[in-house]
Amino acid sequence: MKTDDLVTLLASRAPAVDRRGPARRFALAWVAGLGGALLLMILLLGVRPDIAEAARVPTFWFRLVYASAIAAAALWVTSRLARPGVRVGGAWAVLATPVALGWVAMAWVLAHAAPGTHLPLILGHTWRVCPILIAVLAMPAFVAMLWAVRGMAPVRPRLAGAAVGLLAGATGTVAYCLHCPEMAPPFWSTWYLLGMLIPAALGTLAGPRALRW
């Protein structure tokens, strides 16, 4: 048998590639991660008792959109880093946009705040525990997304691990928003972001080993 005939034979017997497989894999992992974060939040912290009243305040939704937008952008970045030869490109700018808007909101609030209230607005009442709690809630999504990315053969495992960690942190933050009593933009644009960066740092360290193929 000639080489060309062998190649043709092998190609004709190759199974069809499921183009929707990666999307389903990522969706399954993220939904599982969000579900795990919500379950941990309910079991460990509990939903804030005045959530019905808090939901009437615009800043409640601003911070939820903030975390959700970072999660969506981080998912986009992660999905691109997971595939060999795919450039991230403008996804970085999309990821940076909600972070920058959070800082703009913080600057606006602090610029109009009364003297002596700037530090309390930034620290709130829970700054010591907020980033740690977010990092804890991020763990289900962190594990699930590492599984999803590992199956996609990433060629930049350290950067992909960082993106996975940031996505997990943002997912944990979405769940944490249902518990956290802090509403001021100077607080959540600072400490929520720090909470997201903890699993991102963990992903940076774990990526070369956890995503090796």
Distance (Å, rounded) from C-alpha 30 to C-alpha 75? Answer: 9
Give the per-residue pLDDT at 14.
47
Q: What is the DSSP string of 177-189?
A: TTT-----HHHII
The CA-atom distances, in angstroms, between 139 and each of 11, 27, 171, 198, 209 are: 41, 17, 10, 11, 17
Distance (Å, rounded) from C-alpha 133 to C-alpha 175? Answer: 10
Distance (Å, rounded) from C-alpha 196 to C-alpha 70? Answer: 10
* Tokens read off for 90: 């403008």
Give the per-residue pLDDT at 13.
53
* Tokens read off for 150: 């590992």
Give the per-residue pLDDT at 128.
96
For the entire predicted model, the pTM comes to 0.88
Structure-token match 């993220």, residue found: 30
Helices (H) and strands (E) in the chain, counts: 11, 0
**For the chain, the helix, strand and coil percentages under 3-state DSSP, each to the nearest 5:** 75, 0, 25
Print pLDDT tens along the chain (213 aa): 555 554 455 455 545 445 566 788 899 999 999 999 999 999 999 999 999 999 999 999 999 999 999 999 999 999 999 888 788 888 899 999 999 999 999 999 999 999 999 999 999 999 999 999 999 999 999 999 999 998 888 889 999 999 999 999 999 999 999 999 999 999 999 999 999 999 999 999 999 998 887
> Residue-wise over 168-196: b if at least 16 C-beta within 10 A, else e?
bbbbbbbbbbbbbebebbbbbbbbbbebb
* Tokens read off for 155: 């060629």
From the list 196, 195, 178, the residue with the least C-alpha distance to 70 is 196
Give the per-residue pLDDT at 12.
54
Helix H or strand E encompassing 21: helix 21-40
Q: What is the DSSP string of 42-73?
A: IIII---TTHHHHTTSHHHHHHHHHHHHHHHH
Distance (Å, rounded) from C-alpha 199 to C-alpha 196? Answer: 6
